[in-house]
Amino acid sequence: MRKVTSLALAASLLSTSAFAEPVKIGFVTTLTTGAAVIGQDMTNAVDLAMEHLGGKAGDTELEVIYADDGFAPETGKQATDKLVKQDDVDFVAGYIWSHVLLASRKSVLDADKILISANAGPSQMAGKLCDKNFFSTSWQNDQTPMAMGDVLNSQGVKSLYLMAPNYAAGKDMTAGVERTFKGEIAGKDLTKWGADAQLDFSAELAKAKASGADGLFVFYPGAAGGAFIKQYQQAGLKDTLPLYSVFTVDAISLPKLQQAGFTDVLGSKVTQQWDPSLDNEANKKFVTDFKAKYGHYPSYYGAQSYDAIMLIASAVEKVGGDLSDKDALRAALKEAEFDSVRGKFKFGTNNMPVEDFFLREVVEDEDGVWTTKVVETVYTDHVDSYAADCKMN
């Protein structure tokens, strides 16, 4: 508990705003296990956002409290409970994993707190489980693979083998590509996920090769992505089974892939709603300052986390730091009047972003560093497939 001196207490009678408690933001991510590399990228971006804001939203101080989900729904829920009940935060943001967010959502929403996902986008929370207090600065899981499905159609791919982890997001990703891809699904493998996730894909790669598919679609975030790419190259499949991925080849995996010399990833195509090459002032500042501070490109995890803090700050400033009027606070969040790294930013009826999706290519930049660049825009102002199921509470 913070103690206020008698002098400060007396002064607060004259100027309550000068001595007001800071607005507290709980940020849940993975800080341990092999997936901590993603959590670190997110916390780095949050720290940079706080630095850019000077730690304030207008005249109101902001405080961030980090919590570790341990890459597990139970641990994530416990961490969320502590933020809500003990730390009494005003906002809970973050969440990499869909199954962790689904396990934690009620702890936040039942307490009438604001919940903001900076990554996870389970279909349930865009649809039937939508809530007036839930917002996202990322996407709904299906959207990115839906964009890839349409890219595959335009490139004349006739058959596809699918691989993804067996959890909520993995199922959404495969459902997304299947929704738009018009060719044949030659096979599908959903592999073990969690703290003891499967990292040996030799059997699945052999099955994919034997299927005779024109291409291989995969979703393997974090450490699993690096392990998969290594085995894909070792299997010599680039020419016979071209790779198409979402959330697998990114700014987190690329430095390690480059260090290991896995050149098969160069030229591969991925879809995403953000890229470090997007030409707007907020993104240029974010990418430049992130690289200067941390020595590497930010990932989309970082970009979405940065936007989450900027969204919160814009709403807090708009209501003058007074969060007691929840309707006014929700309206301020919905207006999303902040400079997003995506350029434009707006929410749909279910508080999910309505946004563009791009086809990106893995390239080598002018300094010889592997990164991505936008090749084309696949979707403009795309609305997720579950918005119609949302009956806002």
Segment 308-322, tens digit of pLDDT: 999 999 999 999 999
Alpha carbon of residue 68 to chain centroid: 16
Q: What is this structure's pTM?
A: 0.91
pLDDT category of residue 3 using cuts at 50, 70 and 90:
very low
CATH topology of domain 143-272+356-382: Rossmann fold (3.40.50)
Contacts of 15 (CB under 8 A, 6+ apart): none
10-15 average pLDDT score: 42
Averaged pLDDT of the chain: 93
Strand 56-57 to 269-272 pairing? unpaired
359-387 average pLDDT score: 96
**Does the structure show a pLDDT above 90 at 307?**
yes
DSSP letter for 388, please: G
51-73 average pLDDT score: 97
**Does the structure show a pLDDT above 90 at 9?**
no
Strands of 91-94's sheet in order across: 56-57, 60-68, 23-29, 91-94, 114-117, 134-136
C-alpha to C-alpha distance for 249 and 366, rounded to whole angstroms: 19
Q: Where are the alpha helices (DSSP H) in 54-142?
A: 73-85, 98-109, 123-126
C-alpha to C-alpha distance for 340 and 116, rounded to whole angstroms: 15
Contacts of 206 (CB under 8 A, 6+ apart): 235
Quote the radius of gyration of the chain (alpha carbons, Å): 21
pLDDT of residue 393: 59
Which of 205, 225, 197, 223 lies closest to 161, judged by CA? 205
pLDDT above 90 covers a percentage of the chain that reads: 89
CB 224 within 8 A of CB 253: no
3-class DSSP state for residue 338? coil
3-class DSSP state for residue 49? helix
Task: Give residue 153's region: left, alpha or beta (phi > 0; psi -120 to 50).
Answer: alpha
312-336 average pLDDT score: 97
366-376 average pLDDT score: 96
pLDDT of residue 19: 44
pLDDT of residue 16: 42
C-alpha to C-alpha distance for 284 and 289, rounded to whole angstroms: 8
Choice between 184 and 7, residue whose per-residue pLDDT is larger: 184
pLDDT of residue 234: 93
Alpha carbon of residue 153 to chain centroid: 26
Lowest mean pLDDT among 46-50, 128-132, 211-215, 240-244: 240-244
CB 336 within 8 A of CB 79: no
Which of 233, 273, 265, 236 lies closest to 355, judged by CA? 273
pLDDT category of residue 10 using cuts at 50, 70 and 90:
very low
* The residue to which tokens 């690289």 are assigned: 291
89-104 average pLDDT score: 97
pLDDT of residue 82: 98
pLDDT category of residue 226 using cuts at 50, 70 and 90:
confident
Residue range(s) occupied by CATH 3.40.50.2300 in the chain: 6-139+279-353, 143-272+356-382
**Does the structure show a pLDDT above 50 at 12?**
no
Which CATH architecture group holds 6-139+279-353? 3-Layer(aba) Sandwich (3.40)
**Does the structure show a pLDDT above 70 at 288?**
yes
CB 227 within 8 A of CB 218: no
